[in-house]
Structure 1
Amino acid sequence: MATMTDTDTSQGRQTEPALREANRVVTQVIENVEEVIVGHHAEIEHVLTAMLGRGHVLLEDVPGVGKTMLARAIAASFEGTFKRVQFTPDLLPTDVTGVNVYNQQSETFEFQPGPIFGNVVLGDEINRAPPKTQSALLEAMEEGQVTVDGTTRAVPKPFTVIATQNTVEQNRTYDLPMAELDRFTKKIHLGYPDQVEEAEMLGRVVGRHPIEDLASVTTLEEFQRARDTVADFDVEQPLRDYATRLARYTREHAQLGVSPRGSLALLRASQGRALLDGRDYVVPDDLQTEAPSVLAHRVRPDSAEQTGRDVVRAALDSVPVE
């Protein structure tokens, strides 16, 4: 892995109270989620850093490992509204975005919002729906708004899509187009828990599930302020150049490399990682920690023997920090 250097810490610093408050909020949310989710501390952090970076997360895994519970627990921890979309082959775009319904009494059309209007929106088994329905998420994910019948409406803030992808029944699913994959800040896997973690999980849920009693530990406004604080974190020019060089390496060593949107997602996720470490500035280690989950799904390798993660790892090993 490339040699790490620290950055100048004398410029662009947040006020200490704002930094401490944002760190407190995010730390408490992570600890609260771990009351429900056992053995996935790193993955919980990855979801939170994506959310702090105003991004979205794709969870790809086998059924039954806690993907839905993870999304519910995060939303419950900061009083966010949780909405769920069960993607099926017959789902229509308006089932996601909402639809105008004619009111006979008032003789006017009234908008009935769809589940996209939530703070945390779970797109369950997103690859079961055809691309036309999947695309109903794209405007909201990229621009924070939804357009129905020519009228544009903003989605709530904060807004995060956490989508799950079925990896077992490939013959009954649709591939996600690269334009859609590119809109997800991260693609992560939960995986099976080990023996000790699974036994602990069973002990927690064999009776009353802890999600039913999970209380919020912060408010929606406090979580949004934490995101706003992170957005002001300093990312100096050498780090922006480093992110660009990593992206260029993938473009030169793969059939399809990381887009500029991917480079931006890497910097924003790294700002969230800095907050977890109690810093209001980004260092190379933040980019190197975030790069595999942020960049790998945006890369299409030259050969079947290689994965996107392999290309990203090679980039981290080859591209120096200057």
Structure 2
Amino acid sequence: MPIINSLQEIIQQGESALQQVPARHLTVHIDRLSTIFSNVKLPEVVAEAVNRYWPTLKIIFDHRAWDTRTMESLCRSCKFAVRTCGRSMGITIGAMLLEIQTLYQQHNQSCFLYLSSEVIKIFGSDPSCASYLTCLIQTLFNHTIQLLRTIQDFTARPDIADDCFLLASRCIRYCPDLFVPTEIFPRLVDCAMAGVTIQHREACKSILCFLSDTFDLAKSPEGEKYRDLINTIVLQRGATLARIMIASLTGALPSGRLEEVSYVLLSLSRAFGGNMLNWTRDCIALIPPQALTDSERSRFLTIISDASSGSSLGSLTDRFAEISEVCRRNKAVQD
């Protein structure tokens, strides 16, 4: 294949040349490979090509892992390969996952998380993949939690935050058995709480989605076997979670996040009705009376109560928006 031949010619010039060549000299060929992998709808044929050319791609992974542009191009190509090949990919998928989880710990490239999300979507429900997917999940999340300790860390690396919690939501949906019962899950909930007020739109949405997916799982028939575990995790953190989400509603996050914040509050209320009402009551008690009247406090509690009783998001969002607007107009609430 001419594309691979061009990459091999660069590689054959030696390690130093491969390290120094401009990224565009690599990505022009890798992007063409992506086009082939995404448009040739013959899983076995593409899988055979990926298997044959993996040694070449691995060399680029190994020697250019510091180079974000090249890694993004290469991960995009691998993503299309995974999507096209599916389970036809064979042993190459294991080699690919070992590569990215090793390199992620060294170079912190968010595209490795993004590629892993695609892998989870395709292979997450396959029992034969459970062993190496468990290793992948644990390795990636363990390292990410070390990177994202404070809101300042989230702000500095919104790409990692975005792709980390996109991956976490994928794990909840496609392989909860490999994720929810592990020690990494409550640590990731803590991580989400630390970073949910990030101002970056996509990263914030990914974190909010992870939280609502967690609460929804606890309430769903499919999540019954995880319910006690999730209940324990959330009840230990409930008061703080409620305070963070109410702060997000009332000014800590831009009004453009209102729908996502409202849905997290709805999910939390549905799953933890009476507790959520108590947490909310304690939170709004901290708001000065000149900022929120008794009538407005009562309305807020009624919204949470209605959410607990099963009211739809559509019927609640406007009511949440009214409370949000009242609080945003009054600086005392945000303080």
- TM > 0.5 between the two? no
State the structure with more CA Rg: 2
TM-score where L is the length of structure 1:
0.28
* Structure with more of its chain in strand, by fraction: 1
- Which structure has the highest helix share of the two? 2
